[in-house]
Structure 1
């Protein structure tokens, strides 16, 4: 199983498909993005399936055939080898659960999680889907209106349906039209250096820490930087973290935090410090522009850095409970909670400055992305539920046809099947990378994170060092040495409830 998981990830990281398009086929995509693309000998533009290429095209390429080609290729990455690997893993996991006396792999995994059993997870996902369905139905009506309008305007065939290759395009259009969010204009206010400085400053103030870049140190690539973290009150060194922020050939393709050395008490009674690395694939700088982040990328940066802080602020005695070694369905909550700072005025102003003029984020621009947070909430969250439900379903079976099942569950939750010939799960790294039977945890933990944010910070001050101190003490510091349910009770002063989560999606929890 371990070898298969490694092969699955290796196949993904070595995947290097290139598609070529004319400028006309990429109409609608930002000019600066087109300029950054290499050309082949025929003068066509080369587009890879890595995030910094794929997502700008899927969000803005007007031609549906271009999007279809890209989406088909993207969801066919490693199709043959990884489909076979995933389906073998499902069988082996089922056998292992049987040997250990559990009815299914999901039951085995959840036994040591907050949720405890697969039925509880299924109920959670189904209930949430029912509440989100009305939002999604309204959103699809809007997407179809926009699609008809586009087809009439540019002479494309209108089929009255939304497909996978339409989704990000019309979600982006909804944000731009209903909330007047111009993502390309917003990017100009988020140069990487300014975001990094602002982000570190916010975490410093909130958690009472001091960050110092360590110069002249050996790193694995010239773009990687190293920082030390010191507790400001005691001046104790807590640990180090690396930032590896840009894509390159053969590198891990997503964004993640990796623990490199756990914090713990050594046999001599001294504390071993924590070392962690944050890895991402943000858009690289060009000759005439610094690296400019989208608002989504700023949120990703904040989220993954939250995991870094969880690693470094944890003060558990044993390495087994160090940092993010909490129940897997709680592990995202501390970082998701901190994402909220990317949707509040003061933190956004501290992380932004126009890359040319140095001008602060104007209020009229800032209000728009903040209000747009609930844009596409139905479709986005139902897609998360689809992924969680797929993960649970394959891990309650002994054998599975992953492509067929994914398409069926997609039809059920999104209202359309997979694109023919694709299998998204062949590139669903979480299923081979340690999240098996646990992907629901993103939504599960978001319920807790919203409760923490709304109950403490939103009511009483998002930059409050007092609540930041409580957060560090009750949520980050214990690592996995205390049950997550107890940590939440200690911080909230009560059991958690889902009301804040529903409010954050634009729903009335009492309806």
Structure 2
């Protein structure tokens, strides 16, 4: 049964490799070999034809391995010849799919991106089809029926593989099973279309200088913004540009115009696609005996049931209501004073602007002024130094043998104590035409114990869209950008330092409502003066650090705005769960009609012409799972207390070592609840999270 991989503890002989400086990839590979490991730089296809051929070859190879599993005598099957063999072959096939995904999301050539998109569709259809190889299923079931005495991750691999067969419908009659297979194939194709439509959604909006009054002058100097004598083009689909205008433009008409365009991106293509996807998800869930897609998705997660997820979010929505109401009231008074309209209401297009003004006026926190402390390169190097220190790692930059963009960077990661090579990561950090337009970590090569007994070390990529440099200034990050950088690189570390025995269990392949927790915890680092003082400095005069009183006010402002920030997140979670709740099998879906009222009820008034969900990429991948951010946030804040109580706070090496060994290395090799409790040294508590959002604690 194919799966997209998780993590498990593996005993590895640690060899001291510090005797010589490692200068080249070959040096690192040799050092890895001494640790009985394999370090691999991906071999990137460079023509559309090569992309197509590589995917077809990978599938053909995997099919041969499937044939071998299915051809076995049921009386002679073993764990290795069935369950492990399936994990091995799906791991190998995923390597090609992962490369195709990077090409699809990051290559500068449109023909390459199209070829990769087609390759991903071919892979996804194949990945569904192998779940229905009855010969393979019978071989695995024959082994499972022997009731083998397995333990640890071996037992977990068997149980979850057989569970996945049940969830695919292998226990159904042949005709119903075939129907589920076809529905899943249709869904996978639509999911790829949904993602591609988001990437292809472009929305340049031209404003005059007067219409952009309040937007910092540095914005106008950014490449591509000034497009005429009094014409300034804001690209609504470029996140940093959208936020810069929404936070700073004094004109409500400007903010609303840009918001309406942004929240209607991919409207013409994705509304119908999403409606079809939700119909298919509902049909699949019902065919498999679940009440809803929510129930189907949550079964394998920490929430366990749709009711558990919904109750959690509903309780948070209610719990934060008084704080949210008070915050909105404050913002409405500010807008009333601005507009001379005592009945002024805060709309979705207003909240960023007025929270920004509140931060400036009440807390003396100017987000734009803070950018001078966060030049991209210094922030990156500062984060590297912190993570290297607390996690016992070393990052070394090398030249990538192949670059899909000139400023692509490649780094190798080693254990600082032993010198053992642990993996590699690519950095593709700035926006461009045709590129994935958000921020994310992508696995390219996952960690796994190979059939020959060697350990494959991981390779990952970060695809981000930070503000580029201008003619007279380096790339200057907002504080929020720095928070994102620390978060996403946390995912990279989670993948790289894995000790998983099986590909299914390695790295970030953990329950969806836990995967964000370690990275959300790391966001706390950039709110701490001791941490910020290690790297944040005015690029014009590095002797100037962020004053302590400003950092305190930043934290005060964060708490003051927590109601608005979190109600927005809870609104997203609520609309996601509502879209995937119980629904008549043949009843039509109107995802916009379902989601827009929830956005208004849980968050703020919207423009009824907008279609937020058409550009909400999480609905393919985090479907019936966005609640997981809030679920993981509770875990994250609880885990953060381990550092907060440690001798050196967020820079404590002992706490960092515990996080690395109990969380990162483990992945899903054991119940993640056990991993969390081992890291905490106690049972979990939601109190730190409630305190963070201002509805609990002292």
Measured in 2, the distance between the counterparts of 1:9 and 1:471 equals 33
Q: Alpha-carbon deviation of 1:302?
A: 0.3
For residue 31 of structure 1, what is the aligned residue in structure 2?
217
SS of structure 2 residue aligned to 1:188: helix
For residue 133 of structure 2, what is the aligned residue in structure 1?
none
Q: Alpha-carbon deviation of 1:499?
A: 0.5
In the TM superposition, 1:144-163 aligns within 5 A as 144-152=332-340, 159-163=343-347
| TM score, norm. by length of structure 2 | 0.71
Q: Alpha-carbon deviation of 1:43?
A: 3.3
Q: Alpha-carbon deviation of 1:159?
A: 4.5
Q: Aligned pair 1:65/2:253, yes or no? A: yes
For residue 9 of structure 1, what is the aligned residue in structure 2?
195
Runs in 1 of length 4+ with deviation above 6 angstroms? none
Q: Alpha-carbon deviation of 1:489?
A: 1.2
Deviations 1:256-289 (A, max 9, x none): 0001100111011011010011111100001100
Contact 2:579 2:595 (8 Å CA) reproduced: no
SS of structure 1 residue aligned to 2:350: helix
Contact 1:175 1:375 (8 Å CA) reproduced: no
Measured in 2, the distance between the counterparts of 1:52 and 1:503 equals 30
Q: Alpha-carbon deviation of 1:453?
A: 0.7
Superposition RMSD in Å: 1.4
For residue 625 of structure 2, what is the aligned residue in structure 1?
438
Deviations 1:265-322 (A, max 9, x none): 1011011010011111100001100000000000000000000000011111001111
Change in CA separation of 1:464 and 1:497 when aligned onto 2, cut-off 3 Å? same
Measured in 2, the distance between the counterparts of 1:275 and 1:51 equals 27
Measured in 1, the distance between the counterparts of 2:557 and 2:409 equals 33
In the TM superposition, 1:282-293 aligns within 5 A as 282-293=466-477
Measured in 2, the distance between the counterparts of 1:71 and 1:222 equals 33
For residue 251 of structure 1, what is the aligned residue in structure 2?
435
SS of structure 1 residue aligned to 2:403: coil
Q: Alpha-carbon deviation of 1:41?
A: 4.6
Deviations 1:119-172 (A, max 9, x none): 1111111111111111111111111111012113xxxx6652111111211121
Give structure 2 stretches of 5+ with no counterpart.
1-186
Measured in 2, the distance between the counterparts of 1:223 and 1:402 equals 40
Measured in 2, the distance between the counterparts of 1:382 and 1:252 equals 27
Change in CA separation of 1:459 and 1:410 when aligned onto 2, cut-off 3 Å? same
Q: Aligned pair 1:403/2:592, yes or no? A: yes
SS of structure 2 residue aligned to 1:46: strand
Measured in 2, the distance between the counterparts of 1:266 and 1:220 equals 29
Measured in 2, the distance between the counterparts of 1:81 and 1:289 equals 38
SS of structure 2 residue aligned to 1:73: helix
Q: Aligned pair 1:368/2:553, yes or no? A: yes
SS of structure 2 residue aligned to 1:462: helix
Q: Alpha-carbon deviation of 1:456?
A: 4.2
Q: Alpha-carbon deviation of 1:42?
A: 5.8
Deviations 1:433-456 (A, max 9, x none): x11100000000010110111244
Greater shift in the superposed pair: 25-34 or 209-218: 209-218
In the TM superposition, 1:288-437 aligns within 5 A as 288-361=472-545, 362-398=547-583, 399-416=588-605, 418-432=606-620, 434-437=621-624
For residue 116 of structure 1, what is the aligned residue in structure 2?
304
Deviations 1:334-391 (A, max 9, x none): 1011111011111111121211112231333333323322131001101111100111
Q: Alpha-carbon deviation of 1:505?
A: 1.8
Measured in 2, the distance between the counterparts of 1:201 and 1:289 equals 24
For residue 20 of structure 1, what is the aligned residue in structure 2?
206
SS of structure 1 residue aligned to 2:656: helix
Q: Alpha-carbon deviation of 1:235?
A: 1.2
Q: Aligned pair 1:462/2:650, yes or no? A: yes
Tell me which of 670, 673, 683 is aligned to 1:482: 670
For residue 136 of structure 2, what is the aligned residue in structure 1?
none
Deviations 1:4-26 (A, max 9, x none): 11111111111121111100000
Measured in 2, the distance between the counterparts of 1:185 and 1:39 equals 22
Measured in 1, the distance between the counterparts of 2:346 and 2:451 equals 60
Measured in 1, the distance between the counterparts of 2:196 and 2:687 equals 41
Measured in 2, the distance between the counterparts of 1:187 and 1:193 equals 13
Q: Aligned pair 1:218/2:402, yes or no? A: yes
Deviations 1:202-254 (A, max 9, x none): 00011000000012532211121000000112211110001111000010011
Contact 2:209 2:230 (8 Å CA) reproduced: no
Measured in 1, the distance between the counterparts of 2:342 and 2:469 equals 38
Measured in 2, the distance between the counterparts of 1:364 and 1:493 equals 34
Measured in 2, the distance between the counterparts of 1:365 and 1:501 equals 23
For residue 199 of structure 1, what is the aligned residue in structure 2?
383
Q: Alpha-carbon deviation of 1:39?
A: 3.3
SS of structure 2 residue aligned to 1:371: helix
Contact 2:220 2:226 (8 Å CA) reproduced: no
Measured in 2, the distance between the counterparts of 1:271 and 1:317 equals 8
Measured in 2, the distance between the counterparts of 1:183 and 1:458 equals 30
Greater shift in the superposed pair: 97-106 or 197-206: 97-106
Change in CA separation of 1:257 and 1:368 when aligned onto 2, cut-off 3 Å? same
SS of structure 2 residue aligned to 1:277: strand
Larger Rg: 2
Measured in 2, the distance between the counterparts of 1:380 and 1:258 equals 27
Contact 1:343 1:373 (8 Å CA) reproduced: no
Contact 2:347 2:604 (8 Å CA) reproduced: no
For residue 164 of structure 1, what is the aligned residue in structure 2?
348
Measured in 1, the distance between the counterparts of 2:660 and 2:599 equals 39
Contact 1:456 1:492 (8 Å CA) reproduced: no
Contact 1:394 1:402 (8 Å CA) reproduced: yes
Contact 1:198 1:351 (8 Å CA) reproduced: yes
Change in CA separation of 1:158 and 1:29 when aligned onto 2, cut-off 3 Å? farther
Give structure 1 stretches of 5+ with no counterpart.
none
Greater shift in the superposed pair: 344-353 or 37-46: 37-46
Deviations 1:415-446 (A, max 9, x none): 52x312111000000102x1110000000001
Measured in 1, the distance between the counterparts of 2:226 and 2:357 equals 28
SS of structure 2 residue aligned to 1:164: coil
Measured in 2, the distance between the counterparts of 1:374 and 1:216 equals 43
For residue 79 of structure 1, what is the aligned residue in structure 2?
267
For residue 98 of structure 1, what is the aligned residue in structure 2?
286
Tell me which of 422, 427, 446 is aligned to 1:238: 422
Contact 2:528 2:551 (8 Å CA) reproduced: no
